[in-house]
Amino acid sequence: MSETLHVNLAERGYPIHFGTDVAAAVRAEIDALVAAGRKVAVVTDRNLALHQADALQAMFGGRPMLVLAPGEETKSLTELGRVLDFLAEQRIDRGGALFAAGGGVIGDLAGFAAASYLRGIAFYQVPTTLLSMVDSSVGGKTGINLKAGKNLVGAFHQPRGVFIGTGLLATLPPREFAAGMAEVIKTGLLGDAELFAQLEKTPCTVGSPGLGAVVRRCCALKARVVEADEHETAPEGGRALLNLGHTFGHAIEQATGYGCYLHGEAVAIGLAAAARLSWKLGYIGEAEVARIDAVLAAHALPVRLREPLPLGPLMGAMARDKKVRAGALRFVVLKSIGEAATRGGIDPALPEACFREVGAA
């Protein structure tokens, strides 16, 4: 292992291990668990099982493994039931541990299953997509989607460890890598202006020599935010800032049935919309909006809807967002590039206008 970063949450704290190849570290963790008499199970997806079979074997050997279909549709009540039944079939007890090997869908689903099964067992994150490495594997947010909206069911359940091996990104499709870059760009916008400027100057690719450092930088910022506001209870700012672009993005995903846009693609359009909302509120100028659009486009991300979507369903989905308080929406806006804030009391006409400007009908 080359580096370790610790998420400081008292007894719930845990290490994030970084390296090109984390197979030996994962295997060592599993061996220690088994030596202590604890049972281990693994949840992954079909894409990883197909394209990274050797890596899965190196990490997990012959441990019981459930392979699920890839895609956002897997974050459902039905698939949650499959994971819970799998754990019961393997006779995992309260001393057992579940390893989530895959992208954000697998991490969110398996993490929620671990939080629910026997009222909570240990789980470990082995993220294999850029998006899950820089965002969803850190912080303990787990959950599934409902027809009514994204991530409306879930639990805060911190992993016992996160193992990030950037070598696993070699087989990631370009579209999936780009989707992950949306979360990297989001990180720069909300709290790291230097990172944003770096991406603006030199777009990041899977072959970039500094990719590992970028991943670690994103994890470090998220870890500090989570440490300060683990359960997103801060009246203003706090962990909610990590949702920059997501209020718009989640509405796009929900309105299109989770099958049209990858999460990062919807977030990218959401970032473009959030930039426009920030401009309309007088925080940033048109030049900053143009810079944000340009960085997103430079990383092969959309800044407009591919096809027009009706405004009604988008606003309806937004009204069911998790950040609604007392019936009113809160938005994450940019006070400047590198500084975000939460803002309520916004006239609905403004987000409507922003949606129209990114292609809503």
Q: Sign of the CA dihedral 178, 214, 208, 204?
A: positive
3-state class (DSSP) for residue 110: helix
Buried b (16+ CB within 10 A) or exposed e, 40-62: bbbbbbebbbebbeebbeebbee
Backbone angles phi, psi at 38, to 5 degrees: -105, 135
Do 121 and 94 touch, CB atoms closer than 8 A? yes
Token representation of residue 3 = 């580096």
Tell me which residues are annotated as active site: 119, 141, 183, 222, 232, 239, 243, 246, 250, 263
Largest CA distance in the chain: 60
What's the CA gap between 53 and 46, in Å, rounded? 10
Q: Sign of the CA dihedral 341, 342, 347, 352?
A: positive
Do 128 and 103 touch, CB atoms closer than 8 A? yes
Q: Name beta bridge partners: 221.
A: none
In Å, how far are 270, 279, 289, 336, 351 from 283, measured between CA atoms? 17, 6, 11, 7, 15
Identify the burial level of 152 via C-beta atoms within 10 angstroms of its C-beta, where 0-12 means exposed, 13-18 middle and 19 or more buried.
middle
Identify the burial level of 135 via C-beta atoms within 10 angstroms of its C-beta, where 0-12 means exposed, 13-18 middle and 19 or more buried.
buried
